[in-house]
């Protein structure tokens, strides 16, 4: 297998406070809710979430009880959840579970500073869900190293037709943002497996940052961006900002079908983009070839990035059908990253070069890689017109080439830097 040298171009060495030679102050203003930039990116799902159903208003920042977000999520039937309060929802080491389908969480409707969940995460285990403009800052919460406090920022588990758009995730002790589920439920064929795990999911325009490294996960080091699990299909990962995660930008597991488009990845540590089929996990089942289209992404090394990091690592026992085009990847010192690194286990995986996208949403149009950094730093994350202190700092570090992977949220101020207390106000309208 020959590497794909034409698929990655080196970026020029950037001068501080410049993006592509353009001063930061000239990047333009962030568009508010309801603008064309808020139009969903076309993926494999056409879900409308809770559109056309009831409007439920969150009136308290309590973790549960009347008027809470948890109570609104538990209501059956189509519903759009809006917010009359802004501030912090302390989950107290619980997980906010979305089990009832046909729901839209409209975080853009909250008064400033918006809604931030701490000390816990979100689990989506249903279908037809849209989550927008919500922040999740899980944190180790003082838990001892390797003590078993393991929390995702947001995980989709055997879910389908889900859109996670314009949200901000940081300080998870497991993955920050994932699409997973059972590997082999439903029968003995790949089609059956795909029908019983996560599918048709769009992870778009989010900030995915500062997964905690040597924190409370039982396995030890666990600063992870996104996990896309075995046999998941129709997964779009587009226009996200990944910053200061040790690995998984994303990690795509065996047999999955994924498009990674126009993401900005800064300061990846030990692995950047990553495909891996673990033969031990597959047992005696025939391996399924994974399919990935990787187009228009930008990677910039940082303080945490290993010196020999390749853009894409293909690891394990399974083969990968791969299309790569217009990606730019460079180390902090300006050296171009190697396009592909192969890490075999029992057998050497084969990379099958495809000249055209092997998986691609019908209406999606990639932007040129040269435009990605300015677009993503301006538009990614929750409420980009009203960013909180954490998102402002992370975006500034990306622009300036500073910061690093962390072990504990307290290294960067922790919960204390988040606005606290309820803020009442008018519900924003689109």
pLDDT in tens, 3-26: 343 356 554 433 332 223 222 222
Contact between 250 and 227 under an 8 Å Cβ cutoff? The reply is: yes
pLDDT averaged per 10 residues, the chain (length 430): 45 34 30 58 97 98 98 98 97 96 98 96 98 96 78 96 98 94 96 98 98 84 91 99 97 98 98 96 97 99 97 96 98 96 85 97 97 98 97 98 95 83 62
pLDDT in tens, 323-360: 999 999 999 999 999 999 998 777 789 999 999 999 99
State the pTM of this model.
0.91
- 34 belongs to a structural domain: no
- 335 belongs to a structural domain: yes
Rounded CA separation 89/68 (Å): 9
Cα angle 200, 203, 205; round to 5 = 145
Cross-strand partners of 243: 209, 266
* C-alpha pair distances (Å), 262 with each of 7, 90, 312: 14, 33, 15
pLDDT of 425 reads: 63
Rounded CA separation 353/164 (Å): 30
Contacts of 331 (CB under 8 A, 6+ apart): 301, 305, 307, 309, 337
- 354 belongs to a structural domain: yes
- 289 belongs to a structural domain: yes
Domain containing residue 391: 5-21+119-182+194-416
Return the closest-CA partner of residue 167 out of 124, 222, 126, 197.
Answer: 124
For 5, the token pair is 């040298």
Query: What's the structural domain count of the chain?
Result: 1
pLDDT of 427 reads: 66
State yes or no: cis peptide before 113, omega within 30 of 0.
Answer: yes
Rounded CA separation 237/359 (Å): 12
- 372 belongs to a structural domain: yes
CB atoms within 10 A of CB 319: 21
- 148 belongs to a structural domain: yes
CB atoms within 10 A of CB 324: 26
Return the closest-CA partner of residue 321 out of 237, 236, 249, 258.
Answer: 258
Contact between 228 and 276 under an 8 Å Cβ cutoff? The reply is: no
- 146 belongs to a structural domain: yes
CATH of the domain at 371: 2.160.20
- 103 belongs to a structural domain: no
DSSP 378: H
Q: What are phi and psi of 198, to 5 degrees?
A: -65, 140
Rounded CA separation 64/197 (Å): 29
pLDDT of 289 reads: 98
Return the closest-CA partner of residue 86 out of 66, 104, 59.
Answer: 59
pLDDT of 279 reads: 94
Rounded CA separation 48/40 (Å): 10
pLDDT in tens, 98-131: 999 999 999 999 999 999 999 999 999 999 999 9
């Amino acid at each position: 297998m020959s590497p794909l040298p034409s698929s990655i171009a080196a970026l020029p060495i950037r001068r501080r406070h410049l993006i592509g030679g353009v001063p930061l102050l000239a990047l333009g203003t962030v568009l508010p809710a309801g603008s064309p930039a808020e139009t969903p990116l076309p993926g494999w799902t056409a879900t409308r979430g809770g559109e056309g159903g009831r409007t439920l208003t969150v009136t308290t920042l309590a973790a549960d009880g009347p008027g809470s977000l948890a109570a609104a999520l538990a209501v059956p039937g189509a519903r759009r959840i809006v917010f009359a309060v802004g501030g912090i929802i302390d989950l107290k080491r619980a997980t906010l579970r979305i089990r009832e389908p046909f729901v839209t969480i409209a975080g853009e409707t909250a008064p400033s500073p918006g809604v931030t969940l701490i000390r816990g995460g979100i689990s989506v285990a249903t279908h037809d869900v849209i989550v927008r403009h919500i922040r999740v800052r899980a944190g180790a919460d003082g838990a001892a190293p390797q003590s078993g406090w393991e929390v995702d920022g947001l995980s989709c588990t055997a879910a389908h037709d889900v859109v996670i758009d314009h949200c901000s995730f940081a300080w998870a002790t497991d993955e920050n943002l994932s699409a997973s589920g059972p590997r082999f439920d439903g029968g003995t064929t790949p089609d059956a497996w795909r029908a019983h795990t996560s599918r048709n999911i769009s992870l778009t325009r989010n900030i995915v940052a500062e997964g905690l490294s040597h924190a409370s996960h039982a396995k030890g080091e666990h600063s992870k961006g996104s996990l896309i699990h075995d046999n998941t299909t129709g997964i779009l990962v587009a226009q996200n900002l990944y910053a200061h995660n040790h690995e998984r930008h994303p990690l795509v597991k065996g047999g999955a079908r994924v498009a990674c488009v126009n993401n900005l990845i800064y300061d990846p540590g030990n692995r950047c983009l990553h495909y891996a089929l673990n033969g031990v996990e597959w047992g005696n089942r025939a391996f399924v070839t994974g399919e990935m289209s990787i187009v228009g992404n930008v990677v910039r090394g940082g303080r945490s990035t290993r010196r020999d990091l390749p853009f894409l690592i293909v690891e394990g026992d399974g083969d990968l059908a791969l299309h790569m085009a217009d990606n730019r990847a460079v180390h902090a010192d300006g050296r171009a990253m190697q396009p592909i690194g192969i890490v075999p286990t029992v057998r050497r995986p084969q990379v099958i070069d495809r000249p055209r996208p092997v998986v691609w949403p019908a209406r999606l149009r990639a932007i040129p890689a040269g435009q990605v950094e300015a677009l993503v730093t301006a538009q990614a994350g929750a409420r980009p017109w009203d960013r909180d202190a954490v998102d402002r700092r992370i975006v500034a570090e990306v622009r300036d080439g500073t910061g690093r992977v962390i072990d504990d949220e307290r290294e960067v101020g922790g919960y204390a830097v988040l606005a606290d207390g309820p803020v009442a106000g008018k519900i924003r309208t689109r």
